[in-house]
Amino acid sequence: MNLLSMLFISMAIALFLVIFNMISSNLTPNADKVSPYECGFDPMNGPNTQMSIQFFLVAILFLIFDLEIALLLPLPWAMLSNTPKMASTTATMILILLTLGLAYEWCRGGLDWAK
């Protein structure tokens, strides 16, 4: 098969799926379908409801640890360089720092969901 016939078949399948979806879908709107949705918020109670700060704390902790783990991604290439001992020392220091940060947050109660 050549490229043009594959392109035609792919476009025909995509067009068929779009038309089938339009025909078979139920388009009657109701209050649940047209209301906005945000995770953690209930749009029916109004904007002035209390929200748990734990969601934000866990999100910030995840961001911090995720960004610091990203520092370890180039480690395999660093091990192939002329100074693998320095790369492993740096990686060990990063992991020790992450472990100490995790232990600190755990001891301070930052990871306890119910207080």
| 66 vs 27, higher pLDDT | 66
pLDDT for the residue 76: 82
* 115 is a domain residue: no
pLDDT for the residue 75: 81
Name the domain count of the chain. 1
**Structural domain containing residue 64:** 3-108
Tokens encoding 28 = 């009657």
* 114 is a domain residue: no
* 88 is a domain residue: yes
Q: Each residue of 47-104: pLDDT tens digit?
A: 666 667 777 888 888 888 888 888 888 888 888 888 888 888 888 998 899 899 889 9
Q: How confident is the model at residue 44 (pLDDT cuts 50, 70, 90)?
A: low
Residues 6 or more apart whose Cβ sits within 8 Å of residue 115: 109
